[in-house]
Structures are given as C-alpha cells and as structure tokens.
C-alpha cells in the first residue's frame, strides 16, 4: 500500500508489513490459516505463513528479511526541511525494497494438523498485563486467519499471564517448520 508523503512508514515498519502480507500474490494461491512472525533484536526477522490452497491442501511459506543486505544496498539519501504543518523532513532518494527471501517448506502435515487442532479450544485473556520486555527480547506475533477474519497476538520475551497456550503453540510451530527432521534451516 502506498502512503501519502507525510504518512510514509519507516523502512523497518515497511519491511515488517511485507513479512505480514506474505509473498506478492500469495493470497491468490491460498488463504492464511496462521502466521508466526518472529522479530529478534539481533537477527533477521522470519515469517512462517501456513496457508490452505483452493484445493484444500495445506502448505507453508517461510520468509526471511535479510537486514544486513539492506544496510549495504542503501544509497545516499538527502533530507530536506519543508515548511508547513505536519510535514517535517522530506527524504529524497531511491525507495528500497527489503531483501526478503521466501521458500515453500515441507512439513509433517499430520503434525501440523494436530498442532492446529490443539489450539482450537484454547481461551486467552483479551487484555493481558505484560511487563516491559528486555531490550534483547524476541518479539513474537501470531496471527490467525486473514483479511476481515484476522486475530493477532503480539508479545515480547515471556508471554503475558494467560497466554502460555499461545507461546507453547508458537514454540511448537517454530520447531515443526524451522527444525524439520532435526536439522536447522537458515
């Protein structure tokens, strides 16, 4: 989505939104079941997108934002002060797309079905209290459904009280997608 000049997002926010949106055109292939986005403080953010195709098959797309590549590829930018209410600085320069790398991942579909079923009857509080996470905490974002039927949960570090079923689901989904057959995927 293109924003007016004064409402542009930071490059970080834009890249995270692209991770949430999935691969370009992915929504035409299948509807989202669940998205697990991890944003570590000192590593690359990763989106794990579980979708159901029009034929009913479940598949998983894993997308990594390779931030180090973006830092090296950024060209020079010029900031210009613009008078007027709410405009502030105008940044001139080529708009850079984040370096996203997507792959379709093979997973044990039976284990994935059982994992999704295990969360079906879970109840979590809507307004949990969470202490401030440490600066080096990983942010977890778990989204169920898509478009108008989307529910998103987000926490940093330890999950809030009452959200342990979500954190358990997230850790089990991470293991299932990122560590198939005991190997670590990069």
pLDDT reading at 77 higher than 90: no
Summarize pLDDT for 119-159 with one digit per residue, the tens.
888 888 887 777 787 888 899 999 999 878 899 999 998 89
Structure tokens of 112? 């994935």
Structure tokens of 2? 């293109």
By percentage, how much of the chain surpasses pLDDT 70?
A: 74
0.85 exceeded by pTM: no
Summarize pLDDT for 15-51 with one digit per residue, the tens.
888 888 887 666 667 789 999 999 998 999 999 999 9
181 pLDDT tier (thresholds 50, 70, 90): low
| pLDDT, averaged across the chain | 79
The structural domains of the chain, ordered by start, are 16-66+100-178 (3.30.1560)
Structure tokens of 16? 């995270």
pLDDT reading at 169 higher than 90: yes
């Amino acid at each position: 989505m293109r924003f007016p000049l004064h409402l542009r997002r930071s490059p970080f926010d834009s890249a995270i939104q692209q991770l949430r949106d999935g691969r370009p055109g992915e929504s035409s292939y299948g509807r989202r079941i669940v998205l697990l986005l991890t944003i570590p403080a000192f590593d690359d953010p990763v989106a794990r997108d579980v979708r159901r195709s029009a034929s009913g098959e479940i598949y998983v797309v894993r997308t990594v934002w390779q931030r180090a590549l973006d830092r090296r590829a950024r060209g020079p930018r010029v900031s210009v002060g613009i008078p007027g209410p709410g405009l502030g600085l105008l940044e001139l320069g080529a708009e850079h797309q984040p370096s996203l790398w997507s792959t379709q991942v093979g997973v044990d579909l039976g284990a994935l079905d059982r994992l999704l079923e295990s969360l079906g009857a879970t109840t979590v509080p809507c307004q949990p209290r969470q202490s401030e996470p440490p600066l080096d905490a990983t942010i977890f974002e778990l989204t169920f459904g898509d478009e108008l039927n989307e529910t998103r949960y987000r926490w940093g570090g330890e999950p809030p009280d009452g959200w342990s079923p979500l954190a358990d689901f997230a850790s089990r989904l991470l293991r299932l997608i990122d560590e198939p057959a005991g190997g670590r995927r990069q």
